[in-house]
Each structure stands twice: as structure tokens, then as C-alpha cells.
Amino acid sequence: MVGSAIVRHLLAGGLIADNLVLRTHGELDLTSQASVRAFFEIERPNQVYLAAAKVGGIHANNTFPAEFIYQNLMIEANIIHEAWRAGVQKLLFLGSSCIYPKLAPQPMSENALLTGPLEPTNEPYAIAKIAGIKLCESYNRQYGESHGTDYRSVMPTNLYGPGDNYHPENSHVIPAMIRRFHEAKVSGAPVVMLWGTGTPCREFLYVDDMAAASIHVMHLDKATFEAHTTPMQSHINVGSAQEVTIRELAETIAMVMGYEGNIAFDPAKPDGSPRKLMDSRRLNNLGWQPKVELEEGLALAYQDFLFNKYPLHSSITQ
């Protein structure tokens, strides 16, 4: 999802397609060091956007913790090391807001990293993302002067939008709700049951805003970037600065999609962190602001869902 959005923005910015080196998951196994090494030795890119990851919601993280930590560690280690071996000086690593402690002071600033226990349901994924940040920082510290290594990290809040994963069990909260409300609307179901209490607060960012932020950070001149970061705390938060409860989110999605049934919550299911709001002032001070409001973004996401996942229902109005 994020990688596709970054490609859209690079092309929109005038970068012709011939300058982009792209691979699908089926074409390149990023968990294989040999495959990644061969890719970099052949292609020799100038810049790398590391958006690839194994991702999912609470259920997926709880069910497949070994897969989440192993695959993400392998992807990061292989790409960052082989990029360095191939002489790549510019790399951007995309992490996640789950790197911060479960009870971190809100909004969560960059200096909250490694100050307390993580949310248990996604700890393996968070550990892998923290490792990615530290890989970038470590290569900068060791090879910045000798090789010109300039590897940066951005930590997005919860993302959604075109290209999302709408799997009924392993998706994130917004695509999971879009699918569930759509199916309830089509079938005429009187109620939609959702996990948890509906009380946790979450922040959401439309994926094209994230793409714009990624390109912005990648192209900041080194002096400006280093003036706003430190060698061992160089990651930058990317958020919308707006939060809603899960209940409010569900009500907004139902309204955007035209579902008129009831919404219920199962408190026996886990809520995750009680609140996750990013402090994005560092990035705001570097000249970036989000553009897409939540209701507008949800409408665009639903259009994408209808077009790509349920073409027979693409005539449904909102």
C-alpha cells in the first residue's frame, strides 16, 4: 500500500517510470539474503524506500508472532546491509507507531522510544521495527563519513487508503471495518459486531499523505535533517494530529458507506493500547503537513475497495 503510494507520488513529481526499480513480492523474496544481494548487485539503485513489511492487525499479530518478528527482521537486515554493500547512500526506512511503549505519554514524541514496555499484542513486530531504526543509525554512525551513508527512518501512525489489505481476519482496523460494513450493507445484516470496547483512541493518516511525507524527508538536505535529529534518535514521526475513538471511527465508516444498521462491540476481545497519538511537530517544523481529512480519506478508501475487491458492487453509492 505505502510503496504503491510512494511510486504514484514520485511519478506525479516528474520522475519517469524508467528511473524506478520495482519488484513485487513474487519477484523478489526479501527474506532471502542471496536474492536481495543479487538484486542490488544488478540494479545498483541510488535511493531506496524500504516500505516492505509483514503487517496485520491485533488478531494477526497475536496469531503469528514468530512470522512477524522473523520476516520483518530479515527484510530490514537484508535490504539495509545489501544497500550499503552496493554503495547506496540514501535510504528511507518506514517503521510504525507501535515502537513506542504501551503507556507512553501522549502525544508520543520521538524521545519516548525505549522508555517502557511495549503493547504485548504486537511486541514482536514493534521489536523488529525498532531494530530497523537502529540498523539505519548504526550504519550512519559507522559508515557516514567513510561511505556517505545517510539512512533515515519515518514512523507513520495508522495508515489506510488505496491498496490496503482487506483480509477478513488479518487486516488493520479500517480495512477490516470497510469490508465488514460493506458485507453487512449488501446482505442487509441488522448489526455489525466489532472487537473490544470501542473506547481506545487512534490516529489515522491517508496513505498518500504518508507517501508525500516520505519523499519530503528523503529529500531534506543533510544539514537540515541533522539539525532536527541526533545520531542515536534520528527517526521522525508522521501523523495527522487528529484522533478518534474506535467507536467514532466505526460510526464514520458506516455513515460514509451508507450502512444503516446497528454497531455492537465485544469487550471480551482485546483493545490494544488505550491511546496512540503521535507528536509530529518535528516533521511539521521541517515543512510538512497532512492534506486529507479522515472522512474524505475513508470515502476514497471505500471507492478503492469497491473497484478492486468487489467490482460487482461498484455501483453502490455512499
* Residues belonging to the active site: 125
Cell of 143: 559508515
- Contact between 312 and 173 under an 8 Å Cβ cutoff? The reply is no
Which residue from 86, 35, 83, 77 is spatially nearest to 53, judged by alpha carbons? 77
Amino acid at 46: N
Calculate the CA 224 to chain-centre distance. Answer: 24
Cell of 207: 496513505
Q: DSSP 3-state assignment of 157?
A: coil
Please give the DSSP secondary-structure letter assigned to residue 195.
Answer: E
Quote the CA–CA distance of 281 and 127 in Å, as a whole number: 24
**Bridge partners for 191 per DSSP:** 262
